[in-house]
Amino acid sequence: NAGVTQTPKFRVLKTGQSMTLLCAQDMNHEYMYWYRQDPGMGLRLIHYSVGEGTTAKGEVPDGYNVSRLKKQNFLLGLESAAPSQTSVYFCASTTPAGTNQPQHFGDGTRLSIL
Amino acid sequence: AQSVTQLGSHVSVSEGALVLLRCNYSSSVPPYLFWYVQYPNQGLQLLLKYTTGATLVKGINGFEAEFKKSETSFHLTKPSAHMSDAAEYFCAVTRSGGSYIPTFGRGTSLIVHP
């Protein structure tokens, strides 16, 4: 039972490069989320999705794009990476059975932008 | 609107001592409350949650939390700290009928000294 899987686990980019982070979940969850975690800032929501083909902006969406073409996958893209995007990125998912359901998290992608 | 405040970004205890991590919330309607634990280089995992019913909730690894409506608190406790409890702890809140976007506290880092 894999749960939420994020790839890659680590990546170093140069300023201006682009990349895509992949999140895959095998729990048939409708809702998926992308967060970034920075020291002292807790978790900040970047984008989220309430179902296949839908996406919405979170608290800090600038510089990121997302796509949810398949229910089990949620992609986070950086079109032109900036040093301020150096962070640890977490994907999460949950079921819409009720807001009393917890989120399930991946182990993160550690991204450094030089 | 809802918010979460975790008092103390760092809490230091000796092995065997009581662990107390504080969480206060604000919510206009009855909340659902969660504690998550994050071990180094891992994602968040659910420690325990309060939805309805018994206000004292038991979780994994000997942790428990008590929902106190009058104090708008959901503090996390463990009678005797173990070295393996060293981690980051996050309190989160959602509410019945609300969105599926939880509000997280900024986290408390638990340091356990031998």
Task: State the average pLDDT for chain A.
Answer: 94
- Residue B54 has what pLDDT? 87
Nearest CA in chain B to A94: B100
Q: Which of A88, A113, A100 is nearest to A38 (CA)?
A: A88
CB B81 within 8 A of CB B61: no
Flag whether pLDDT at B40 surpasses 80. yes
Contacts of residue B7, defined as CB under 8 A and 6 or more positions apart, other chains included, come to B22, B23, B24, B108
Q: Which residues of A touch B60 (CB under 8 A)?
A: none
Give pLDDT tens digits for A61-97. Answer: 999 999 999 999 999 999 999 999 999 999 999 998 7
pLDDT greater than 70 at residue B46: yes
CB B64 within 8 A of CB B58: yes
Q: Give the minimum alpha-carbon distance from B98 to chain A in angstroms, rounded to a whole number.
A: 7
* Structure token digits, residue A93: 């998912």
pLDDT of res. A1: 64
Q: Is B59 on the interface with A (CB under 8 A)?
A: no
User: Which among A35, A40, A44 has a CA at the least distance from the CA of A93?
Assistant: A35
Instruction: Average the pLDDT over B84-88 and give the result.
Output: 97
Higher pLDDT, A19 or A96: A19
User: Tokens 């634990």, residue?
Assistant: B37
Give DSSP secondary structure letters for B30-58. Answer: -EEEEEEEE-TTS-EEEEEEE-SS-SEEE
- Structure token digits, residue B107: 């986290």
- φ/ψ (deg, to 5) at A24: -130, 135
Dump pLDDT digits (tens) for B16-32. 999 999 999 998 788 89
Report residue A26 as tokens.
């095998």
With CB atoms and an 8 Å threshold, state whether A100 touches B98. no
Q: How far apart are the C-alpha atoms of A91 and A104, rounded to whole Å?
A: 8
Q: Is the four-CA dihedral A97, B49, A42, B24 of positive or negative sign?
A: positive
- B108 close contact with A: CB closer than 8 A: no
- Name the closest residue on chain B to residue A90, using Cα atoms: B43
- Nearest by CB to A45, which of B45, B101, B106? B101
Q: CB-based contact (8 Å) between A99 and chain B?
A: yes
Residue A79 to chain B, least CA–CA distance (Å): 25
Nearest chain B alpha carbon to A44: B104
Query: Are the CB atoms for A77 and A67 separated by under 8 Å?
Result: yes
pLDDT, residue A61, reads 97
Structure tokens at A40: 């002292």
